[in-house]
Chain A
Amino acid sequence: MTDMRNWMIWPDNTMLSVLILLLIAMLCLYAARTPMHALIRSVGHALGGSLRLGARWLFVAAAEMRERNKTVLMAHGRQEVGQRVEREFERVGVLVTRDLQGYPTLQRKLLEEITRIEEDYKKCGEVPPPPPDWVEAVAAVANIKSGGNEVIQKILDDIRKSVNQIHEKALSEYRRSYETRHKILEGFMPFWRSVDKTMTQVDKKMTGLQESAGTVDAQMEKYKQINAKTDKAEHALTNSAFTQFAIATVVMAVAMGGAFINFKLIALPMSEMVGAADYITSTLRTSEVAALVIILVEASMGLFLMESLRITHLFPPIANLNDRMRHRMIWISLTLLVTLAGIEAALALMRDMIVAEKMASLQQLRGAQQAVPTDLLLARIPTAGQMLLGFILPFALAFVAIPLESFIHSSRTVIGALLVMLIRALGFVLRVLSNLARQTSRALIHFYDLLIVLPILAEHLVRSTRGGGAGVKSVGGKL
């Protein structure tokens, strides 16, 4: 309080002293107005400018990164679509080789069948000879009136009989001929069926070929778009990468679960081999690391197997191997995988035995009667299950290579896209901060003028009395 009083011009009149002090301060601030304005403005500009520069740099970096990501994405997409087109062409090639190679035979067969049908058809066209011309003569004779003469009557009867006989013979001949034609027509059926079947086959093959051609067309369209680096292609590829990333992550998480079960299955028996009391770190046992190493080796073997089978393409040296070496590699990795699976099955059995023995010894220590399993087969199910699981899990783990490849390839795009987003967001924040710094410097200038409002008003009055409205405008403008 005494310190405050020291500042007072008239210690007994605080109000007046404060007013005078404020007036003095205002005058001082008014005197320093122009340099203070310049100072605030330059600080604002310096801060805002550097922040704006930083934001611009970040935006440029983000654009460059996006461009680089796009190049990588397009290259990857081109490679992928190229491989797909190649595969489609291979498929078409196989179709053409398989189906069209046999096409001459098919055509010959078809022609032969058609010729045979034609011949048979011609045979069908052969009609039986018409009844002889003498039928009319017989009819004329039949019209002769017998007049009761027995001789004539007998002759006529004979004629009628022979005509009837001839008629029956001709009729039966005619029927036989039709029967033969029917038989020929009946014989047509298998050939018609065969022709129909052959034609269906041809149709199916042609449709398959057409479908493959359609797929190739679609892939080629995609390839063209990628080559043209269109936004649509980029968008589609980015979306695809995000989807692949999500799916691969889920599948890998499932595989991790499998690996964890596998680890639990073999960690205890591994301690029988490498000792349970050895530690690598304060919490990590050597046996656990050994179990982990076995699982990782299995995963690696699976990776090599998938690579050798050309299902994945993570290691170019393996992909570039000649077929002979590749086959050797397949057999080596498969043999190692089967061996490791066998070891795991044995370890799973060992684990079961160790646990059972521990339970038995603890029961014995407690003095409890050991429970005798009612059904031995039933008691063996968990053991068999563990062994089976131990044998199967390495093979299941081998397939992790496929989602792993997807994960690695898509993570480049996903991480790149996220990084671009992050840099842009950072750039935006810097831009906002830069604007804030500039606006704050302006606000501070106005606030400064607000503190010295009285001297400014006085200046305004003086200027208005001296030079009229022009001075007021200039002061007002500055304000």
Chain B
Amino acid sequence: MNLVPFPLLAVATSHLLHLSGIDALIILIYFCFVLGIGFYLKRFTKTSEDFFLAGRSMTAWIAGLSFLSANLGSLELMGWAGATYQYGILAAHWYWIGAVPAMLLLGMIMMPFYYISKTHSVPGYLQLRFGNKSRTLAAITFGVMTILMSGINMFAMALVMKVVLGWNLDISIWVSSLTVATYVVFGGLLSAIFNEVLQFMLIWLGALVIPILGLTEAGGWSGMVKRIHEQFPATDYTHLWSPLSSFSANPMGIHWTGIVFGLGCVLAMGYWTTDFLVVQRVLSAKDLRAAKMAPIIGAFFKMLVPIIVILPGLLALAVLPIKLVPENAAVAGAHTYNEVLPLMLARYAGPGLLGLGITALIAGFMSGMAGNVSAFSTVWTYDIYRPLLKPNAADTHYVTVGRWSTLIGVLVSIGAAYLCMQFKSIMDYVQALFSFFIAPLFGTVLLGMLWKRATNAGGFWGLLAGIGSSIGMYAWVKINPAAIKYIALSDHAQDMAENMYRALWSWVICVAVTIILSYATKPRPAEELTGLVRSCTPIPTEGHYPLMQRPSFWAVIVILIFLILNFIFR
């Protein structure tokens, strides 16, 4: 074992970090461990319920941490740390108002319908509520986009490993993705969830060192704020709401209405309540109370994630002796915003801790990818293969299809990663494509659950109109950049602001079309909507649980903490 220290912040060399023998050993142990979990759990996944929904036996804690971990990819960690260096604490909106209310909506309002209807997926719920056309539209778009996104993330992660560690792109892509494929093929969702909880712990343990040591060096929170103000007197990096009073008062070029309505009320609600990647984890809960508690537990930890993502970005503003630059302005020897987290790791972590930090990044990537492929495999098997290709096969047949579709999904993702390597602009287009579906799907599912008058035709055409209008607005701005003042209400709007407002308008169009067409068509009888719509479904009460075990009690606690955090950092 090589314990000889290596130079860790090597600006002059071709990559940022050098691993020692002990770091390599820590990473190797991680790979062996996750594969071992997959092998061990294979014997417990015999039926399709086991493979696709982990036997619906997970506790609220495990489902909740897995729900959060599937979203906590390494690109998210590094990307938002970089965004914090660029935009300041405004980036925390994506963890607080851009997540917490949506998670509570999922847990308290929407989860009972997903759970009581016994659906296996979000497209499956659409089939029960709005018929086959809506299900097929949602399933195909979700399946294609999930696999492409997985490939993009894979390529981006390999690129990061090349820049930070000098690792070969091909080796990074194949080793990490085949490891994920192996443990998901063996143990299905059960294995994905077990590994996600492990990865959640490792992400925290690997990343928490940076804010602890960073705050120690900067002299606590007040010392950090003082240093930032001294170094960047012209820009407000440390307030969450006060710079949002006008479009031009903050570096994002966004108004508070975009954050509250575009991000908080539409985009976040859409992602956290209808993206099957995260909803699938909650569906694995052992009973309705656990299913309601899981997103609440997730919301609590989501509020804490800024400690390991936003705080390192702010600390970098305070303590790094170099100035980072945007991606498009990078020159030789300069470091970009996205390198904030590795740079901070290099500043504080020696051999051993560095290996743990890199393991955290790899764990983040693998948890995100496992989430993608396990969700893809479920939607492919239940919502495309079974209804359209082979409706009446034995249960074991669908488990086999699930295993094969996991493997094929990973291979297609690898293909997409190599496609990105050749044509980098594909990344931008596919990420935009994914955003087209989220907001309208939320409109359709929400109306489906809360409004019994919504009809099959209204649901399908509303969804299609929302997706179409989102694509139309995106194309309009691409063809004529001046159109951004109509979409995002300001000439100052940046890409993020445009996304917020485009989501808001496409949701409004989806809802409007659904309502108009529903009034023009014949509604379904109320008895067909039992278990699917709020006013037609008796929801089990929580009254018989002690106060401390009631989801509504913990939801109130989370709301209070959320409000206090927003007030403190206003």
A binds B: no
Contacts from B to A (Cβ < 8 Å): none
Contacts from A to B (Cβ < 8 Å): none
